[in-house]
Structure 1
Amino acid sequence: MSDTMKAVVLTRFGGPDAFEVQSLPIASTGSRQVRVRVHATAINPLDYQIRRGDYADYVTLPAVIGHDVSGVVEAVGADVTEFAPGDEVYYTPKIFGGAGSYAEVHVADVDLVGRKPRNLSHVEAASLTLVGGTVWEALISRAGLRVGETILIHGGAGGVGTIAIQVAKAIGARVITTARTHNNDFVRALGADDVVDYADTDYVDAVNAFTGGQGVDVVFDTIGGDTLARSPLVLAPLGRVVSIVDIATPQNLLEAWGRNASYHFVFTRQNRGKLDELTNLVERGLVRPVIGAVLPLDRLAEGHEVLETGSRRGLRGKVAIDVSGEAETMVPPLAAAE
């Protein structure tokens, strides 16, 4: 085996042209680590936020970033008993904790790594790790969503929203989501019970109409803006708001006090346990990744541009990167500017 690998390196903070394809040495494998041949990765909003410099204090350049891996174990450390060479695995690398997944090979702490669902391709599995772990952390670990409750999921057609709808339905919740009209049938097919076109309708009015004024038990915020301040207007008493968005602007939460609301701000923690729970749902046919675009590793910079212009492309779900060269390239066209 070669001691080098192809990687896409972030050389400076900026636009998609800040990436450069380079040959890098492969890191050594520690006693509780595994070395994985990466077959696929994916692009998340976190990735383009890092690329443009939103988290410059946490990233030392040049850097290999990326937060999704699906691949095959090539080697294991001396103290690893959970996996062996040849095992198919998937996981999220430690965020801000070392090299990322935009490369042909990745070395990871074994406690982060889960067995890839048997019924998913590598491209599909890589599209699930970060968003799936985020959804599990938000809806299960933090919000404690239960059977029979009602949840409002903002951005149902997006990478996180598509998984959140499916997980919430698997739990047995009633799902209301926001999406554009052309995505109505799509999000309903994922399991949404009611859909609000956020461009034409005030979601507060629509949700209160859907629930007969009772409100929802959980609001899942994937969009930011004024969602924290407005969420209490659709919450039932003792409702919960879960946000995965960086929010720097102060918001008035007086309405939340009147409803005894609780707020949870989620920065996803990586571990095998959440992946194993997701794998169970996937292998039972209850959750399936949604992929809107697939590109090879050499075109990863274009993948960032595709994700950032997703609303003009009608992008649904994730942008996946086929590192192994086994999948067909798929890129939704950019609509003409109005």
Structure 2
Amino acid sequence: MKALLLHDKGLWKEMKLEEIDIPKPSAGELLIEVHAVGLNPVDYKTATGGNPNWSYPHILGLDVAGVVSEVGEGVTGWEKGNRVVYHGDLTKKGGYSEYAVTTAHTVSRIPDQVTFEDAAALPTAGYTAYQSLFRKLPMDRIDTLLIHGGAGGVGGFAVQLAKWAGKTVISTASRHNHEYVQSLGADYVIDYREENVKAKVMEITNGRGVDAVIDAVSRQSATDSLEMLAFLGHIVHIAGAPDYTQVKPFTKAISYHEIALGPAHQSGDRKAQEDLGMMGNEMLALVAEGKISSMLKEVITLEQVPEALSRLVERHVKGKIVAKIK
């Protein structure tokens, strides 16, 4: 099969299509004929530093959509020809290839109304946003959220999901992305470069602050957001924990939530792993019903992945990029 091979850490810009053997599924696994793979910043980040579990040449690509080609021993509920999507285990070989192997209990079934490309745009960013909102936050007690980086992958999905849940959504984005973030459902968009985010948030909430913050930007951004939370507020951090010492104990009773999507694979916790597939099924249903968008903005070839990853490094890509393989 053809695959985009990483020959050593740091060499992701030099990846090229090469021939490699088709993998075989072990017990409990599926062999997937890959049709589309989503691109994510985690690809170039892990490829830059490498991973001790990798052997080279390695294959990147966590967000894989395709068709079941072979069913491993002991697998039930799946058969050859099923359309599926999954979030892969970054310690193992990924989906920038014509075939890939994954655990059967972590995959989701793609509805007929959803394309492979749209499905592949979901897992890493979409499931992270979904976990943030519906696995961590008490959404029945939350009315207003501040979602940083609404033009990005996690932020964009979080804006859509929060609005679908009927919440008031405040987001941050560069001025040129305001219209786009509003189209996703944000009620208010703040230009983090030119405006005082805290002042705007307090103005919008009449001085109370927001019930929850979702931060996928940085540790500093998460720390700055602590001052924008209302009493009993929640902060979900994805790119680094805030400095908890900035809040005096027993004052605002803030709850802190760490998001760790990928480590479910290494956790040994079957329930946590199965939840990856459940979140996928729930999000795919929303896409199929037209309630949220996959945010797919660009479809490329497998050969174009290194160049597209270079653009992701610049952090100015809007929406999702997906490589179409078949």
TM-score normalised by structure 1 residue count: 0.87
Question: Is the CA contact (8 Å cut-off) linking 2:13 and 2:310 kept in structure 1?
Answer: no
Q: Which residue of 1 aligns with 2:322?
A: 320
Residue 175 of structure 1 aligns with which residue?
169
Of the three residues 287, 294, 300, the one matched with 2:299 is 294
Distance 1:240 1:95 in 2: 29
Map of 1:11 onto structure 2: 7
Listed as ranges, the matches of 1:212-227 within 5 Å are 212-227=206-221
1:264 equivalent in alignment to 2:264:
no
- Counterparts of 1:175-194 in structure 2 under 5 Å? 175-194=169-188
When structure 1 is superposed on structure 2, of 233-242 and 255-264 the one drifting more is 255-264
What's the CA shift for 1:85?
1.2
For residues 51 and 69 of structure 2, the distance between their equivalents in structure 1, rounded to whole angstroms, comes to 32
Deviations 1:118-141 (A, max 9, x none): 322111110111211111111111
Compute the RMSD of aligned alpha carbons. Answer: 1.8
The partner residue of 1:95 within 90, 97, 107 is 90
Residue 60 of structure 2: aligned partner: 65
Letter of the 2:63 counterpart: D
Q: Could you tell me which residue of structure 2 aligns to residue 51 of structure 1?
A: 47
Task: Tell me the equivalent position of 1:104.
Answer: 98
Q: Unaligned 5+ residue runs, structure 1? A: 325-338
1:226 partner SS: helix
Partner of 1:130: 124
Query: Once structures 1 and 2 are overlaid, which stretch shifts more, 207-216 or 220-229?
Result: 220-229
Indicate whether 1:164 and 2:158 are aligned.
Answer: yes
Alignment-derived partner of residue 280 in structure 2: 275
| Counterpart pick for 1:35 among 31, 42, 64 | 31
Tell me if the contact between 2:211 and 2:229 (Cα under 8 Å) persists in the aligned partners.
yes
Check conservation: 1:147, 1:171, Cα contact below 8 A: no
**1:15/1:77 Cα in 2 relative to 1: closer, same or farther (>3 Å)?**
closer
Alpha carbons 2:11, 2:47 under 8 Å: kept: yes
Deviation at 1:265, TM superposition (A): 1.5
Secondary structure class of the residue paired with 2:130? helix
Q: Could you tell me the percent identity over the aligned residues?
A: 32
- Equivalent pairs counted in the alignment come to 313
Q: Is the CA contact 1:148–1:172 (under 8 Å) kept in the aligned structure 2?
A: no
1:85 aligned residue: 80
Q: Which residue is 1:254 aligned to?
A: 246
Q: Determine the structure 2 residue equivalent to 1:285.
A: 290
Gaps (5+ residues) in structure 2?
265-272
| Aligned counterparts of 1:291 and 1:310: Cα–Cα separation in 2 | 16
For 1:25 and 1:113, how far apart are their aligned partners in 2?
23
Maintained 8 Å contact 2:6/2:12? no
Give me the whole-angstrom Cα distance separating, in 1, the residues matched to 2:168 and 2:53. Answer: 39
Task: Report whether the alignment pairs 1:21 with 2:17.
Answer: yes
Q: Are the equivalent residues in 1 in contact too, given 2:299–2:323 (CA < 8 A)? A: yes
Q: Is the 8 A contact 2:142 2:212 kept in 1?
A: no
SS of the residue 2:20 aligns to: strand
Aligned equivalents of 2:217, 2:135: Cα separation in 1: 20
Q: Which segment is superposed worse, 203-212 or 273-282?
A: 273-282
What amino acid is aligned across from residue 319 of structure 2 in structure 1?
G
* Residues 103 and 154 of structure 1: CA distance in aligned 2, closer, same or farther (over 3 Å): same
Question: Quick one: distance in 2 between partners of 1:265 and 1:19?
Answer: 33
Equivalent residues of 1:145, 1:218 under 8 A apart: no
Distance 1:73 1:16, change over 3 A: same
User: Are 2:146 and 1:152 aligned?
Assistant: yes
**8 A Cα contact 1:152 1:177, kept in partner:** yes
2:312 aligned residue: 307
Q: Where has structure 1 moved over 4 Å in runs of 4 or more? A: none
